[in-house]
Amino acid sequence: MMMSLKKSSASLFMLMVGCSLFLIAGCKKYDEGPSISFRSRTERVANTWTVDNYKVNGTDLTSLISGYTETFTKSGGYSYNWGSESGTGTWRFQNNDEEIELTGIENQNNHRLYILKLEEKEFWYYYLEDGDRHEFHMIEN
């Protein structure tokens, strides 16, 4: 009887671990991760980011925007800087936190950033403009 109880307890424990892992894997918000984070999305995006990789329609054009940075603040402020070009505006999450809308940037249309990955030290997104997909892989500055 005691051996049967131990086997049942072990089986129940393994079932609970398996279900927990399944639920954690199902909580993944963005295609590229993370699976789980203890920091809020706002805390993760609020940072100064430097371009690590930039592609247009899959073609690597990173060398064309060397030194490009973007800053997102917790209060919704946004700025970018690239050599002598810079701008400011505001940002907010959209579509169940899967997108970011940038507004109020001088001489630019509003942009919708589609988040691919949002981690503490990496932020990947793309936006669409004139039928072209601009994909940015940003790293913490």
CATH assignment at residue 61: 2.40.128.270
Q: How far is CA 79 from the centre of its chain?
A: 17
One digit per residue, the tens of pLDDT, for the chain of length 141 reads 555 555 555 554 444 444 444 333 334 455 545 455 568 999 999 999 999 999 999 999 999 999 999 999 999 999 999 999 999 999 999 999 999 999 999 888 899 999 999 999 999 999 999 999 999 999 999
Q: Is residue 33 part of a domain?
A: no
- The number of folded domains in the chain is 1
* pLDDT at site 25: 39
Q: Domain for residue 71, yes or no?
A: yes
- Is 36 inside any structural domain? no
Confirm whether 30 is domain-assigned: no
At residue 87, the pLDDT reads 95
With H, G, I as helix, E, B as strand and everything else as coil, classify residue 55.
Answer: strand
Domain that holds residue 120: 41-140
In a domain, 106, yes or no: yes
Long-range pairs for 126-135 at CB < 8 Å and ≥24 separation?
A: 132/56, 132/57, 133/55, 133/56, 133/57, 133/58, 134/54, 134/55, 134/56, 135/53, 135/54, 135/55, 135/56
Considering the entire predicted model, what is its pTM?
0.74
Examine residue 128 and state whether it is found in any structural domain, yes or no: yes
